[in-house]
């Protein structure tokens, strides 16, 4: 793995202020800095994007292969439970994709316990706060070793 696309979905730009009892006080910039530090120690480049718009996520996934990405690390946030378009985009590009969530979605409301993304992802990591992203990155990096 040399180049990984990191996608942060809707409302993740509000991390650190938004529902800190669920998502914690770590900002998205802090998460990106943690990821960047871990990536640099592994000689991997990360490109980050955050958007509240489903179509922008679909476009980014759809063009990932053409832009030379080797894998996708994605927190689709609320789109996890609603977006067939994001699911289909991940299935179409055939790149390893790891789905991450800050909270344990399976310990939350029933509607959050179904992911449309997981069936087409390489794996899912949730419930470890900001460390879910680091674990997701480590999972992607482990793919090149197997």
How much is the pLDDT for 1? 58
Per CATH, the homologous superfamily of domain 3-143 is Dehydroquinase, class II (3.40.50.9100)
Query: What are the residue ranges spanned by the domains of the chain?
Result: 3-143
Q: What pLDDT digit, counting tens, does each position of 73-129 carry?
A: 999 999 998 899 999 999 999 899 999 999 887 767 787 777 999 999 999 999 999
Based on DSSP, count helices (H) and strands (E) in the chain, helices before strands.
5, 5
CB burial string 122-143: b at 16+ within 10 A, e below: bbbbbbbbbbbbbbbbebbbee
Out of 8, 53, 81, 101, which one is annotated catalytic? 101
- Between CA 88 and CA 110 the distance in angstroms is 23
Number of Cβ atoms within 10 Å of the Cβ of 68: 11
Reduce the DSSP state of residue 47 to 3 states and report it: strand
Angle at 119 between CA 115 and CA 124, to 5 degrees: 65
**CB of 115 closer than 8 Å to CB of 81:** yes
Cα–Cα nearest to 99, from 61, 72, 81: 72
Neighbour order of strands in the sheet with 123-126:
45-50, 3-8, 71-75, 97-101, 123-126
Question: What would the pLDDT profile of 51-71 be if each residue is shown by its tens digit?
Answer: 999 999 999 999 999 999 999
Can 101 be counted among the known catalytic residues? yes
End-to-end CA distance of the chain: 12
pLDDT of 24 reads 67
Q: What was the pLDDT predicted at 141?
A: 95
User: Which of 8, 23, 79, 133 does the annotation list as catalytic?
Assistant: 23
Give the distance from CA 11 to its chain's centroid. 13
């Amino acid at each position: 793995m040399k180049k990984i696309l990191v996608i942060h979905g809707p409302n993740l730009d509000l991390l650190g202020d938004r529902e800190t009892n669920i998502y914690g006080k770590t900002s998205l910039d802090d998460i990106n800095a943690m990821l960047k530090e871990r990536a640099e120690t592994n000689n991997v480049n990360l490109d980050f994007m955050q958007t509240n718009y489903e179509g922008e996520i679909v476009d980014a996934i759809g063009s990932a292969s053409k832009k030379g990405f080797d894998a996708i690390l994605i927190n689709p946030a609320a789109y996890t439970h609603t977006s067939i378009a994001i699911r289909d985009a991940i299935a179409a590009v055939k790149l390893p994709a790891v789905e991450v969530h800050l909270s344990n979605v399976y310990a939350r409301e029933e509607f959050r316990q179904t992911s449309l993304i997981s069936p087409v992802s390489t794996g899912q990591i949730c419930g470890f706060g900001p460390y879910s992203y680091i674990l997701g990155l480590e999972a992607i990096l482990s793919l090149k070793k197997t």
